[in-house]
Amino acid sequence: MANPEHLSILTRGVAAWNQWRTEHIDTQPDLHNANLRRANLREANLERADLRKANLALADLDGAYLNGADLREAKLGRARLHQSQLGNANLGGANLCEAYLLFASLFEASLEGANLERTDLRKANLQRANLRNATLCEANLSQATLFGAYLGYSNLSRAFLSGAFLTGADLSEANLSGADLAGANLERSILVKTTCNKATFTGCYIHGISAWDLRLEEAQQTNLVITPSGEPEITVDQLEVAQFIYLLLNNQRIRQVIDTITSKVVLILGRFTPERVKVLEAIRENLRNLDYLPVLFNFDKPETRDITETVSTLAHMARFVIADITDAKSIPQELMAIVPNLPSVAVQPLLLASQREYGMFEHFKRFPWVLDTVLYQDQETLLRSLESTVILPAEQKAKELIAMQRK
C-alpha cells in the first residue's frame, strides 16, 4: 500500500506536494496502489514516484513531471497527460486506454505490454521508447516522434501515424493492419514479417528501410520517397520494390550484377544424359571463354518443382537460349512457355542429325526470334563449329532484337 504520510500530503493539493518534494529532494514518494481516480495533479512533481498499480483513471496530470516514475500496471484510462514529462518512466502493463497525451514526452520510456488503445499521442515524443507487445489499436500517433522506438510485436491496427517520425524504429512482426502512415518518415526503419494489410503508406519516406516478408494485401503503397531527406525526391510504388530500386541506383556492385545478368546470361536447355554430358560441358566452356554466363537447365534430373515456371524465369533474364532438342521430353512444353511470350530473347535450337524434330516444333519456326535448327553429326563436329554456327548467330540475333526494341 501507499505510504500514508505521502498520500496525505498529496491530498492537500499540488502546491503543498511540490513544496514537500522540494524540501525532501532525496525521498522517493511511495504511492503504489493509491486510489487517485479523478485527482487533480496538474503540474505535480511525481518524478521517481512509486505509482505501481495506482488508480489514476480520469486524473488530470496535464504538465505533470513523471520522469523516472514507476507506473507499472497503473490505471490511467482516460487520464489527461497533456505536455506531461514521462522520460524514462516505466509504464509496463499500464492501462492508458483513451488517455490524452498530446505533446507528452515519453523519451526512452518503457511501455512494454501497455494498453494504449484509442490513446491520443499526437505530437508526443516517444523517441527510443520500448513499446514491445503494446496495444495501440486506433491510437492517434499523428506527427509523433518515434525515432529509434521498439515496436516489435505491437498491435497498431487501425492506428493513425500520418506524418509520424519513425526513423530507425523497429516494427518487426508488428500488426499495422488498416493503419494510416501517410507521409510518415520510415527512413532506416525495420519492417520484418510485419503485417500491413490494408495499411496506407502513401507518400512515406523510406530511404534505408529494411522491409522483408511483409504482408501487404490491399495496402496503399504509392509515391514512396526513396531518396534521403533534403535530396531531390525520387518516388516509386511498392515497399519491397522501392528498396531494390534504391539499391540499384546507389550501389555500383549491384548495378554490375544486373548488367551481367541482362547482358551475359545464356540459358542452356537440354536432356543431357551421361552419354551426352560432354556436349553440355563443351557448350558451357565455349560460352565461358566468350565471357558469357552459362545457366544450365538439365531435364534429365528428377522434377522437384514447377519446371515451366523456373525455366520461364530464367529465360526472362537470358540474352539468348540454346535448346538441344535431341531426345526431347520436357523441352517442348518449356519452349511453348518461352517462345511465344518472349520476343526479345533469341532461341537457337540444336539437333543430332540422326534424329528428327518432334512434331510440334514446326510451330516455333514461324517466330522470327527462333533461329534455324543447327544439325550436328556428332559431338566432335558440334564442338569444332559451336562458336561459328551456334553462339555467334544467336548473339547476332540478340543484338537485332535489342535494336528493334529501341526503335
Give the DSSP H or E segment for 98: none
CATH for 158-250 is 2.160.20.80
CA-wise closest residue to 328 among 406, 247, 285, 273: 273
Same fold, 158-250 and 256-406: no
Amino acid at 19: Q
Task: Pick the most confident of 143-152, 254-263, 322-331.
Answer: 143-152
How much of the chain is in helix, strand and coil states, percent to nearest 5? 30, 20, 55
Residue pair 226/236 in contact by the 8 Å Cβ criterion: yes
Kindly state the cell numbers that stand for 226. 526513396
Query: pLDDT confidence of 100, banded at 50, 70, 90?
Result: very high
Residue 112: pLDDT over 90: yes
Count of beta carbons in the 10 Å neighbourhood of residue 152? 20
Which is more confidently placed, 239 or 249?
239
Q: Is the pLDDT of residue 303 over 50?
A: no
Class of domain 256-406: alpha beta
pLDDT of the residue at 302: 41
pLDDT band at 305 (very low <50, low <70, confident <90, very high): very low
Instruction: Spell out the domain ranges in the chain.
Output: 1-135, 158-250, 256-406
Alpha-carbon gap, residue 320 to 403, rounded angstroms: 15
CATH 3.90.580.10 fits 1-135, yes or no: no
pTM of this structure = 0.69
pLDDT in tens, 183-204: 999 999 999 999 999 999 999 9
Could you give the 3-state DSSP secondary structure of residue 255? helix
Cα 89 to Cα 129: distance, rounded to the nearest angstrom: 10
